[in-house]
Amino acid sequence: MFSRADLIFLHAPSVYDFRKHSILYGPVSDLVPSTPVFEMYPIGFTTMAEYLERHGLRVRIVNLAVRMLNDDSFDPEALIKGLNPVAFGIDLHWLPHAHGALAVAEVVKKHHPDTPIIFGGFSSTYFHEELIRYPFVDYVIRGDSAEEPIRQLMAHLTGAPKARALREVPNLTWKDRSGEVHVNDHTYRPETLDNVMLDYRYVVRAAIRDMDMSNYVPFKDWLDYPITAALSCRGCTQSCVICGGSGAAFKKMHGRDKPAYRDPDMLAADVRRIARMSSGPVFILGDLRQPGRDYAKRFFDAIRGFTGPVITELFSPASREFLADLARAMPNFTLEVSLESHDPVVRHAFGKHYGNEPMERTLQDALDVGAKRLDVFFMSGLPQQTAESVLGTIDYCEDLLVRFGKDGRLAPFISPLAPFLDPGSRGFEEPHLHGYKLSAHTLEEHRRLLVAPSWKYVLNYETEWMTRHQLVDVTYAAGRRLNRIKAEYGLIPEAQAAATEQRINWAVSLIAEIDRLMTSTTKEEFQREMARLRPEIERANMSTVCDKRELNLDVKGPKLKYREVAHMIVEDAAQMIGRALTAPFRPAAPAENE
Ligand code: B12
Ligand code: SF4
């Protein structure tokens, strides 16, 4: 039983209800902490929740996806039915949630026909005019910064004094009572990232308050590996062809000409605050050199002496001097670089314009100055990239291991561009210029793709250089070879490599079996056969081309710092008692059941 929340954020699984579908998801999430259910909710849930609570509203997060993953008998519909907020917020941020987010909204509307449903996130922004026309969507907040627009909308919905009329809420797409759609101007676009707080203490506090951690964990195994993020910016200075978070995509969707940066002192304070609570690595998002050399210098000055594990990213080769400064400031650092391909022609077509030699020098320098690990990422499904080229990339990974991999600090990874080419990216907007052939353009088309029987048919693209069949085949072939190389060079234990190879083999034969069934069975037979294959499909669905634990850094000591958490409980209890003693009497609102 919970007191009534003003707003409840719901995070849906990619496909609803994935537990009832037989889908071979493939290696779509091998290199992120989530499973193919994409159970991670957007970081923006926490920045919005913190902002709204700061303004006196009560907010809850319910991660339906994690709850469904953790418990087969969990009934999301029953939970939704028992909730009773003023409004629901549902993220359609990542396009792979097109099926789940819409289905969850439909369930919410069924049980709460009079409760407003607010959508937001990048995909909601891109498809806002289509999205608002679904009968179960009432509002769409557009843009990369929804904290203030959703505060204004919530003020309207809760009848707060001086609340603005709907037509005055910035970035809002909405329907009036007659069903007419209104698109307010996109005027809220803060120039810095200083007005938000990415405060994981909000998450822990809210979990304690609701006596429920399960709704707040960002992904399934987070309590075992509490990786967190700190944000240096919104937007990007680069415009990689496939990326919906690129400068070009931000310009198109959010009207930004340049990224919004977080003050470097505030960023350092964010990292330190997170580390008081968790021993897990803090991923500092965004290349610290983007805002200019002075930014990184100020950040390094502010963070100097921090010994916790951090992950930083480079978008291009870096000077030895920069890397040495980085190492002095945060000695326990891991570096992530995405080379995309070994072939500079492919990399250039991708939108990154540097050769191998400067990046190899950067890798050597990073090792010399003491990087704890160097994760080097490659991708399949790129412009100008043939199947042979993808396999050439694996040869290059071996070269890198021969040259830089002696002490096991360099780890190469490869994954496909999947399931979707991002809307708003240059590749999606002008596919013909970059050699992409799209099989879906609208939200509804993507929603349908998501329930295709295997990832081969979920993909929303092919390229001039590879059909979907070739892309799938070469992705598995490349994964298999890289897995063996990693075992050979001692990066992963033999048993783990054997288990990964086993999953790749299962996946390859399932892909072939599904293809065969698609052409040789009736619809009913196909459904029956797919249901029969479900246990095998599930077995092959996790960590396909590599074991996602390969990405994890060693976390020493207790993962969450319970003394700090206990301190927060005491602080909160004291505040609650203080408020109870001083607050005027307010009649209780109907409670929520779970
Ligand atoms: C960090 C990051 C991640 C992190 C996760 C961070 C997280 N939990 O949010 C990791 C590495 C795990 C990740 C994974 C993935 N990512 Co990512 N990610 C990013 C990145 C680089 C930054 C996001 C960020 O920091 N945002 C800042 C926070 C504060 O804002 P926010 O979360 O966006 O939320 C704000 C708004 O979006 C909006 N909003 C969001 N949700 C909602 C909901 C409501 C109701 C409302 C009102 C508003 C709202 O308001 C929020 C507050 O202002 C962006 C690129 C970029 N430059 O933006 C890509 C990006 C968002 N990711 C993308 C993709 C494709 C993915 C993956 C699907 C990739 C994959 N196949 O594995 C997965 C999905 C993982 C999952 N859900 O389980 C695409 C999305 C394109 C699209 N339209 O679908 C982007 C744009 C670019 C890219 N290709 O990386 N990602
Ligand atoms: S892929 Fe390119 S455009 Fe996208 S966030 Fe990374 S560097 Fe920026």
Rounded distance from Cα 422 to ligand 2 centre (Å): 12
Residue 590 has pLDDT above 60, yes or no: no
Give the per-residue SS3 of 164-196: CCHHHCCCEEEECCCCCEEECCCCCCCCECCCC
Cα(551)–Cα(233) distance, rounded to whole angstroms?
23
Cα(533)–Cα(510) distance, rounded to whole angstroms?
8
CB 513 within 8 A of CB 533: yes
Ligand 2 pocket by Cβ (under 6 Å): 236, 238-240, 243, 245-246, 315
Map tokens 């999947």 to a residue.
418
Task: State residue 560's pLDDT score.
Answer: 73
Task: State residue 587's pLDDT score.
Answer: 43
Ligand 1 pocket by Cβ (under 6 Å): 28-29, 32-34, 38-40, 42-44, 47-48, 89-91, 93-96, 118-123, 141, 144-147, 150, 218, 229, 231, 234, 236, 243-245, 285, 422-423
Task: State residue 226's pLDDT score.
Answer: 87
Q: Which amino acid is at 145?
A: S
Residue 526 has pLDDT above 80, yes or no: yes
Q: What is the tens place of the pLDDT at every residue in 308-366?
A: 999 999 999 999 999 999 999 999 999 999 999 999 999 999 999 999 999 999 999 99
Task: State residue 208's pLDDT score.
Answer: 79
Rounded distance from Cα 92 to ligand 2 centre (Å): 20
* Atom nearest to 236 CA in ligand 2: 8
580 confidence band (pLDDT: 50, 70, 90): low
Ligand located closest to 28 CA:
1
218 confidence band (pLDDT: 50, 70, 90): confident
Higher pLDDT, 278 or 74: 74
Q: Nearest-CA neighbor of 108 among 18, 12, 44?
A: 12
207 confidence band (pLDDT: 50, 70, 90): confident
Rounded distance from Cα 395 to ligand 1 centre (Å): 32
Cα(31)–Cα(377) distance, rounded to whole angstroms?
9
Mean pLDDT of the chain: 93
Q: Nearest-CA neighbor of 390 among 479, 259, 319?
A: 479
Rounded distance from Cα 206 to ligand 2 centre (Å): 33
* Atom nearest to 39 CA in ligand 1: 78
Q: Nearest-CA neighbor of 340 among 320, 362, 374, 316?
A: 316
Q: Nearest-CA neighbor of 218 among 457, 364, 34, 24?
A: 34
- 21-24's contacts with Cβ under 8 Å and 24+ in sequence apart are 21/451, 22/453, 22/530, 22/531, 22/533, 22/534, 22/537, 23/451, 23/452, 23/453, 23/454, 23/458, 23/537, 24/453, 24/454, 24/455, 24/507, 24/510, 24/511, 24/514, 24/537, 24/540, 24/541
